Amino acid sequence: MEKIIINGGYPLSGEVKIGGAKNAVLPIMAASLIIDGLTVVRKVPNLRDTRTMAKLLEIVGAGVKLKNHKLEIDGSTVDNPVAPYELVKTMRASFYVLGPLVARFGSARVSLPGGCAWGPRPVDYHLKGLEQLGVKITLDGGNILAEAKKLMGAKIRFDYPSVGATGNIVMAAVLAKGETLIENAAKEPEIVQLCEFLNSAGGQIEGVATSTIQIQGVDELRPTSVTVIPDRIEAGTFLIAGAALGEIKLIDVEPNHLKAVIENLQLVGAKLEISENSITIKKPKKLKPIDIIINVYPGYPTDLQAQWTALMTAASGSAIITDTVYQDRFNHIPELHRMGADIKLEGNTAIIRGRPELVGAPVMSTDIRASAALILAGLMAEGRTEISRVYHIDRGYENIEAKFRKLGAKIRREK
Ligand code: EPU
């Protein structure tokens, strides 16, 4: 099994180029299934998750070509609306194909994802929303069987602005008869890009980037192309690395998607220079502890919660971090304890007492963002850190060791 080995305690400096957003490209790939022709996607990150989604598209019958960060998907040959457990269990985002497949074929069979590393992560909003569009949902051998003669527009209100449920319902409703209104919709930039992509294919979606999305159903979508937005979570991970360890310039970023992250980094004392598509961050002399509350966009993202926790272990006092999006996404904390961190967990709140300096140790990654936090902690710690189960990191970060090595980190992968 592969491991990442880090010799920590060295400063970082230099430039890093940010790739396309994983969580933007995955729903776009699913949406290509409702386009009867060629979808061209540029700036596709080469990740385990994008390759898993490409495999799933091939299983349902699409033609897929992925080369040099450019993806071509031919949706005209799709003929098998089935997403098997073997794939869905490795990546929950596979569930995104349910809405598009039932909208196009009137029936689809998609495995239920099951639990994940940090809790149950249900899909009830997706299913309830589809039912409101007239889809009959049954559970059959662990699979969701979705059937509908024709989807009918409806008024749908989510109890919580779920990213995945908003994406799934938008992709289904775009081909439904009549108007659909989604209230309490997600406003994440990745959902905004999905809606804009569908509009470029002839969809009629309004209220994009607001809590109320209106969709006027159309009969069909036409071939189109899109360039994936920069990954705000990869960018945030490198910004946090800069605040902890030196001076880093990020290029190919969208600073507007990182406002809450930038604000908090300024509050801890980091100096930031921001231009249209680059951000330079400089580590402060003294890292101030601050309390943050994780929330949906435009709040501080849950996908940067673990990395922030690692940063606060170096703060000059106690910091509190509360995750309101997930109640139990804290698997990185016992691993950080192994490196000497002083963190107490109370419900969905972590209390971090900064400055017992981290010391390298063997640790285990449990999910994509926890792995990123362990890499940051390893770079901050004195001595050698060995991170196992690194396949998690490859799901969401392209060439992360090479990017950190270019900044001066002593990090390598061992087979
Ligand atoms: N929820 C329900 N029922 C549902 C759907 C969601 O109760 O039917 C709850 C969840 O359990 C959670 C909250 O609503 O407590 C928010 O979940 P959401 O549906 O917004 O998350 P998601 O769509 O499953 C996406 C990202 C995650 C990211 C979250 C929150 C993708 C492929 N995944 O997941 O990204 O953490 O939004 O921003 O876009 C990652 O990239 O590492 C990752 C986990």
Whether 93 lines ligand 1, by a CB cut-off of 6 Å, is: yes
**Pocket flag, ligand 1, residue 48 (CB < 6 Å):** no
115 lines ligand 1 (CB under 6 A): no
**What is the set of active-site residues?**
116
Tell me the average pLDDT across 160-189: 98
| Nearest-CA residue for atom 27 of ligand 1 | 303
Reported as a pLDDT band with limits 50, 70 and 90, residue 355 is: confident
- Per-residue pLDDT tens for 113-159? 876 676 668 999 999 999 999 999 999 999 999 999 999 999 999 99
Q: What is the distance in A from the centroid of ligand 1 to the CA of 4?
A: 27
Residue 396, ligand 1, Cβ within 6 A: yes
| Claim: this prediction has a pTM higher than 0.75 | yes
* Residue 43 banded pLDDT, cuts 50, 70, 90: very high
pLDDT of residue 274: 98
Ligand 1 pocket test target in 50, 92, 121 with most atoms within 8 Å of CB:
121
- Pocket of ligand 1, candidates 157, 184, 304, 325: which has the most ligand atoms within 8 Å of its Cβ, to mutate? 325
| Res 354 pLDDT > 80 | yes
Q: Is residue 415 very low, low, confident or very high in pLDDT (cuts 50, 70, 90)? A: confident
pLDDT band at 1 (very low <50, low <70, confident <90, very high): confident
Our answer on whether the CB atom of 86 is closer than 6 Å to any ligand 1 atom is no
* CB of 26 sitting under 6 A from ligand 1: yes
Distance from the alpha carbon of residue 69 to the mean position of ligand 1, in angstroms: 25
Q: Would you state the pLDDT for residue 101?
A: 97
* Percent of the chain with pLDDT strictly greater than 70: 98
Q: Which atom of ligand 1 is nearest to the CA of 23?
A: 39
pLDDT of residue 119: 67
CA of 163 to the centre of ligand 1 (A): 6
Residues 390-413, mean pLDDT to the nearest whole number: 96
Q: What is the pLDDT of residue 356?
A: 81
Question: What percent of the chain stands above pLDDT 90?
Answer: 96
Alpha-carbon separation of residue 205 from 163, 165, 175, 225 (angstroms): 16, 16, 11, 17
Please tell me the predicted confidence (pLDDT) of residue 65. Answer: 97
Average pLDDT over all residues of the chain: 96
162 Cα to the center of ligand 1, angstroms = 6
Question: Is the CB of 165 inside a 6 Å radius of any atom of ligand 1?
Answer: yes
Residue 163 has pLDDT above 70, yes or no: yes
Q: What is the 3-state secondary structure (H, E, C) of the chain?
A: CCEEEEEECCCEEEEEECCECHHHHHHHHHHHHHECCEEEEECCCCCHHHHHHHHHHHHCCCEEEEECCEEEEEHHHCCCCEECHHHHCCCHHHHHHHHHHHHHHCEEEEECCCCECCECCCCHHHHHHHHHCCCEEEEECCEEEEECCCCECCEEECCCCCHHHHHHHHHHHCCCECEEEEECCCCCHHHHHHHHHHHHCCCEEECCCCCCEEEECCCCECCEEEECCECHHHHHHHHHHHHHHEEEEEECCCHHHHHHHHHHHHHCCCEEEECCCEEEEECCCCCCCCCEEECCCCCECHHHHHHHHHHHCCCCCEEEEEECCCCCCCCHHHHHHHCCCEEEEECCEEEEECCCCCECCEEECCCHHHHHHHHHHHHHCEEEEEEECCHHHHHHCCCHHHHHHHCCCEEEEEC
pLDDT for residue 205 is more than 90: yes
